[in-house]
Amino acid sequence: MPPKKEPKEKQIKGDEADEYLKSVNRPYASTDVSANLKNKVPKAAAQKVMQALADRGEITLKPYGKQTIFVYNQDNLPVMSAEDMATLDEELKSAQDSLKEQREQLKELERNLAAVEALPKTQALPIAIKEIEEQNAMTLRTLAPYRKNCDEPQVRPLTPEEIKQIDAEFVKWRKQWVDRRRMYKIITDQWAESGVGIDAEWRDCQGITEDDDEAIALETGEFCKPQVTARSNAKSKAKAKPLTPPSRPSSAATAVSKRSLSDTASSQEPAKPKKKAKKA
More confident residue, 138 or 212: 138
- Give the mean pLDDT of 195-202: 79
More confident residue, 177 or 229: 177
* The pLDDT value given to residue 91: 95
pLDDT tens readout for residues 76-129: 888 888 898 999 999 999 999 999 999 999 999 999 999 999 888 888 899 999
Tell me if the pTM is above 0.75: no
Total length of the chain: 280
* The pLDDT value given to residue 244: 45
Name the residue among 56, 53, 11 with its Cα closest to residue 28: 53
Strands 28-29 and 59-64 turn out to be: unpaired
Q: Which residues pair with 61 in a beta bridge?
A: 70
Q: Quote the strand ranges of the chain, DSSP E.
A: 28-29, 59-64, 67-72
At a CB cut-off of 8 Å and minimum separation 6, what does 147 contact? 154
Note every long-range contact of 205-209, with CB atoms under 8 Å and residues 24 or more positions apart, other chains counting: 208/184
Q: Which amino acid is at 154?
A: Q
Backbone angles phi, psi at 3, to 5 degrees: -65, 145
Average pLDDT, the chain: 76
Range from 102-116, 158-172, 182-196 carrying the lowest mean pLDDT? 182-196
pLDDT tens readout for residues 232-259: 444 444 444 444 444 444 444 444 444 4
DSSP 250: P
Q: Which amino acid is at 22?
A: K
* The pLDDT value given to residue 8: 52
Name the residue among 6, 135, 130, 18 with its Cα closest to residue 73: 18
Is the pLDDT score of 73 beyond 60? yes
At a CB cut-off of 8 Å and minimum separation 6, what does 31 contact? 43, 46, 67
